[in-house]
Amino acid sequence: MGADFSRRDFLKAAVLAPLLPSFLAACRRAESGRVVNFFNWSDYIGKDTLPNFTKRTGIQVRYDLFADEEEMFAKLRAGARGYDLVVIGDYLIPRFRALNMIEPIPPGALANMGNLAPRFRHASYDPEEATVPYLWGTTGIAYNRRTLKRKPTSWWDLWDPRYKDRLSMLDNVRDCISVAMQLLNIPETTNSEADFQKVRDLLVRQKPLVKMYSSTSYLNSLVAGEIDLAMTWSGDLFQAAKDNPDLDYALPKEGTYMWVDCLALMRGCRHRQDALRLIDYLLEPKVAADNADFVRYASPNEKAWPFVDPVLRRDPRVYPPKKMMDALMLHHILDPEQTERWNELWADVKVA
Amino acid sequence: MSRKRGLAAYCSALYAFLYVPLAVMTVFSFNDARRNVVWRGFTFKWYALLAKDAELIGATTTSLELAAAAAAISALLGVLAAYAMVRHKPFRGREAYGALLDAPLMIPEVALGVGLLSFLVRAGFELDFGALACAHALICLPYTVGAVRARLKSSAGERLEEAAMDLGASEWLAFVKITLPLLMPAIVSGCLLAFTVSFEDFVTSFFLAGIGLVTLPIKIYSMMKFGVTPEINALSTVLLTATFLLLGLNAWLAARSDARART
Amino acid sequence: MKALERALSWLLSGRRQTASHALLAPAVLWLLIFLVTPALGLVALSLARNGAYGDVVWSLGLRNYRRAFAPQFAPVLLRTVGFASATTALCLLLGYPLAYFLSFRAGRWRGALIIALMVPFWTSSLVAFYSWMIILGKEGLINAALMRFGFLSSPMGMLYTPFSVLLGLVYFYLPFTVLPLYGSLEKIPRQYVEAAYDLGAPRWAAFREVTLPLSLPGVIAGALLTFIPCLGDFLTAELLGGPRYYLLGNLISNQFLMAQDWPFGAALTSLLLAGMIAGLWLYRRWEPDA
């Protein structure tokens, strides 16, 4: 062939070349061994955390990705199988449990459970400890120090007409409605239609000011200076602030919410022992500290705190001081009717 | 003459419009920041990271294979279907077939993802590369059918085909020797559309990807929370450069075989 | 071998209706398995009721459809149709000259130019979206340039406006209009056009009387491949649009994801599907050359 390599050969080669790696991959896939299938966000774990686990135990971790918790929930609910371990937000736990989608972690199965700070044990969203807290943070206000003359101090700043078209809200039912209820002094336990109407009106009143409802892409807009003010989750903002040092985080004076991302075992998981081993490993003080440092979220692991990067450990935005900690609230656990009513309300705001 | 030049200038402007974001993307692949939105200085580090990033390279390979498989399947199905739709004398249910062939375009992807996933799981399909390729072939089908159908309709090839058959060629021979070559540009553009649709599909892929199957869009969308790094720009730049090199090589070989044919 | 050729010839000839059905069978089988069955599942789902925590309760009824016709959703539908029509019109207007150029003027560059039309979309659309944000943003390239040369004193907001949504849609759907157009333009025999010239027709008349009518199938194919996906698009509105440009695609995907109200999402999907299939079917009935 050689010199006679014609265009036709070239086309043939071009068509066949992509198939080669899949053939090789098919050969690779044949090898079997111990494995845990872990479903999580991209980059939501320390760089060396999983490789070190594999080195120590010989258990491979297949790390699958989702881009959005609601999408992940929809996929699992539609019947996707095979995941052993999944990271879910606290507010999703009652939903997962009600639909029988997770397997409670057997009590006493984890040697390192005691490393967790008492505050994160038997929390209201998961009194039976079916899941294990992974990382946590707060909901607050992100702002651009350079373009905003005044540091925001209150949730009401997100309703300030001066910031028209410069602010974004999380595209999240729980956070937006909870904050609106807080501002109206309506308890989250309410079932009154009049209360819901008031909440709706408050959120619709804010809508003309809002540049976007978003839970991920607004971070880019913050970095790019497209918006100056945003309702945000603490850890996400700290990641974004690495690229724009003008970005800062404020906790509103009305008080705010904390959220906890948790590790859960999927119902029917096939690698239970190895998955438990991975959870236990993630609870080790040194591992938990390195992990938290990498993603810049706070660790619920009390024993890990001495190993956490001192800069982060001293940062009151990441690890709030005792007084602020005591003021942090967990989201109220909604019953099914309330959940539906909240969802409807939020959908109403979105189409208004 | 100036009219011709005017048209050429207009087309150049349109291509510029299509390529402006790519130019920005390429420039920002050298950006020294984790999020590709603000310029912070020049660096090669994303290319170095990319070269070592097995996860990202694996996702890219998966996506390329997936797109190739989906384009091939949808082209095969599409050519046959489009041929029957256009060339055959009217048959019962043709309107229904036509609507059905366009239907994958109409169903919002999230609905399709949820519906298809529930169905495949219930029907006991293994959610592997093959299942995903089949689903991608489905969303690509209207594009290959559309491209081929449009060409068959405006075609004068029918008469050539008839002439060949008058000369004793079978329908099959006439199809292979006349229709198929005449259809080639449409098949190629249909495949290109299909490849593109599959390569950048996120929603369907996300729902149908089984354990261990990560496509490039899944990887990129999942990075959104913590910042889509310029590593993605670097990757896109590499892919782009490779495509253009292949195209150039192809054109060069074509020119050479042309020259050889002439001598 | 001979028998095989005869069988294939019989299939292609379409003298019998069975042959037509057989030729369509692979595609139809595919559609039945991967589209119709899941879609029927969705229709069934649309009759169910949303239960506790998004659980599906199989007490059948039309409540989701009644809800879908609530007046609050009308603006969303109108806005979606508006954006889809504007995008289709713009894509056709912008794309037709390009397809014409590719078909008649591009010469030996044609192949390369056609592939070059698709190449921009072989990167993630997300990357392209981010690039547009860099270009259009408040501190973006256009604003920086305009302010530098004194055309503007303060940055103008181009992102999250109807303009940016339309720009995004046109950008992403333009090739999907141009390629089918090209496919049918390229097929028009040059002699037809030349004959028109020979008969003394001016250029414009030749184009209007010969080229344009012959390219209509391509115009229609391109318009469909643009208009229909536009109706379901949600990413463009989400990333470039902001809350005031909430489209049907966003509404539907939010039912499946955010609100976890699958039955209602399924009802909206069923209505969208029914509307579009009915429209296409009617259109095919009177389409002269189908």
Q: Is the pLDDT of residue C263 over 90?
A: yes
pLDDT of amino acid B69: 96
Q: Is the pLDDT of residue B49 over 50?
A: yes
Take residue B263 and report the two structure tokens written for it.
């001598």
pLDDT band (50, 70, 90) for residue C235: confident
Q: Which domains does chain C have, with CATH numbers?
A: 73-261 (1.10.3720.10)
Q: Which residues of B touch A79 (CB under 8 A)?
A: 117-118, 121-122
pLDDT of amino acid A10: 61
The answer to whether C135 contacts B233, with C-beta atoms less than 8 Å apart, is no
Listed range (A226-235, B162-171, C128-137) with the worst mean pLDDT: B162-171
Take residue A293 and report the two structure tokens written for it.
């440092």
Listed range (A298-312, B63-77, C224-238) with the worst mean pLDDT: C224-238
CA distances from A305 to A3, A168, A292, B187 (A): 67, 33, 10, 61
CA distances from B243 to A18, B190, C3 (A): 13, 18, 43
Contact predicate C245/C173, CB 8 Å: no
Q: Which residues of A touch B127 (CB under 8 A)?
A: 80-82
DSSP-derived letter for residue A106 is: P
Amino acid at A145: R
Chains that touch C (3 or more CB pairs under 8 A): A, B
pLDDT of amino acid C32: 94
Task: Report the share of chain A in percent with pLDDT over 90.
Answer: 72
Q: Is the pLDDT of residue A168 over 80?
A: yes
pLDDT of amino acid A30: 46
pLDDT of amino acid A155: 96
Q: Supply the mean pLDDT for chain B.
A: 88
- Does the pTM surpass 0.90? The reply is no
Taking the mean position of all CA atoms in its chain, how far away is CA B94?
27
Summarised one tens digit per residue, pLDDT across range C116-171 is 888 888 778 888 888 998 899 888 889 989 998 988 888 888 888 899 999 999 99
C-alpha closest to that of B143 among C224, A82, A232, C96: C224
The answer to whether A146 faces chain C, any CB pair under 8 Å, is no
Query: What is the tally of structural domains in chain B?
Result: 1
d(CA C50, CA B53): 43
pLDDT of amino acid A21: 54
The answer to whether C207 faces chain B, any CB pair under 8 Å, is no
Q: Is residue B77 part of a domain?
A: yes
Residue of C nearest to B114 (CA): C256
| CATH hierarchy code of domain A138-257+332-351 | 3.40.190.10
DSSP-derived letter for residue A40 is: E
Of A73, A343, A351, Cβ closest to residue C76: A351
Q: Which residues of C touch B18 (CB under 8 A)?
A: 117, 120, 171, 174-175
Q: Which residues of B touch A225 (CB under 8 A)?
A: 38
pLDDT of amino acid B45: 93
Closest Cα of chain C to A112: distance in Å?
A: 32
Specify the CATH number for the domain of residue B112.
1.10.3720.10
Q: Is the pLDDT of residue C289 over 70?
A: no
Summarised one tens digit per residue, pLDDT across range A85-128 is 999 999 899 999 999 999 999 999 999 999 999 999 999 999 99
Closest Cα of chain C to B190: distance in Å?
A: 8
The answer to whether A83 faces chain B, any CB pair under 8 Å, is yes
pLDDT of amino acid B106: 81
pLDDT of amino acid C241: 83
CA distances from A150 to A154, A170, A179, A316, C138 (A): 11, 22, 21, 19, 21
Q: A12-21, A29-38, A162-171, B102-111 — which one is most confidently predicted on average?
A: A162-171
Q: Is residue B239 part of a domain?
A: no
The answer to whether B110 contacts C265, with C-beta atoms less than 8 Å apart, is yes
Q: Is the pLDDT of residue A307 over 50?
A: yes
Of C37, C105, C179, Cβ closest to residue B119: C37
- The whole-number average pLDDT for the span C1-12 is 86
pLDDT of amino acid C259: 84
Higher pLDDT, B169 or C64: C64
Higher pLDDT, A264 or B3: A264
pLDDT of amino acid A3: 45
Contact predicate B135/B204, CB 8 Å: yes
Q: Is residue B161 part of a domain?
A: yes
pLDDT of amino acid A291: 95
Listed range (C19-23, C88-92, C283-287) with the worst mean pLDDT: C283-287
Q: Is residue B1 part of a domain?
A: no
Closest Cα of chain C to A131: distance in Å?
A: 19
C-alpha closest to that of A348 among B8, C258, B142: C258
Q: Is the pLDDT of residue A19 over 60?
A: no
Q: Is the pLDDT of residue A301 over 50?
A: yes
Full domain range(s) for residue B156: 55-228
pLDDT of amino acid A197: 96
The answer to whether A95 contacts C53, with C-beta atoms less than 8 Å apart, is yes
- The whole-number average pLDDT for the span B220-232 is 88
pLDDT of amino acid A251: 92
Q: Is residue B215 part of a domain?
A: yes
d(CA B9, CA B192): 25
Take residue C1 and report the two structure tokens written for it.
């071998």
Runs of H (alpha helix) within chain B: 2-28, 45-52, 54-87, 94-106, 109-122, 129-153, 157-166, 171-174, 180-199, 203-208, 216-222, 230-262
pLDDT of amino acid A18: 53
Element containing residue A167 per DSSP (H, E) = strand A167-169
- The whole-number average pLDDT for the span B182-194 is 86
The answer to whether C52 contacts A212, with C-beta atoms less than 8 Å apart, is no
Going by DSSP bridges, is the β-strand pair A35-41/A60-66 parallel, antiparallel, or unpaired? parallel
C-alpha closest to that of C133 among C251, C236, C230: C236
d(CA B205, CA B192): 19
Q: SS3 for A116?
A: strand
pLDDT of amino acid A27: 47
d(CA B106, CA C269): 9
Q: Supply the mean pLDDT for chain A.
A: 90
Q: Which residues of C touch B97 (CB under 8 A)?
A: 24, 28
d(CA B92, CA B94): 6
pLDDT of amino acid A4: 53
Of C42, C126, C181, Cβ closest to residue B228: C126
Q: Is residue B165 part of a domain?
A: yes
**Domain extents in chain A:** 28-136+260-319, 138-257+332-351
Higher pLDDT, A51 or A21: A51
d(CA C24, CA C113): 32
Take residue B85 and report the two structure tokens written for it.
């739709």
C-alpha closest to that of C263 among C31, C74, C51: C51
Q: Supply the mean pLDDT for chain C.
A: 87
The answer to whether C24 contacts B150, with C-beta atoms less than 8 Å apart, is no
The answer to whether A243 faces chain C, any CB pair under 8 Å, is no
Of A37, A41, A74, Cβ closest to residue B222: A41
Take residue B165 and report the two structure tokens written for it.
């058959």
The answer to whether C13 contacts B4, with C-beta atoms less than 8 Å apart, is no
Going by DSSP bridges, is the β-strand pair A35-41/A85-89 parallel, antiparallel, or unpaired? parallel
Model-level ipTM above the cut of 0.90:
no
Q: A165-174, B37-46, C147-156 — which one is most confidently predicted on average?
A: A165-174
Of A15, A67, A225, Cβ closest to residue B221: A67
pLDDT of amino acid C188: 83
DSSP-derived letter for residue A185 is: T
CATH class of the domain comprising A28-136+260-319: alpha beta
Q: Is residue B162 part of a domain?
A: yes
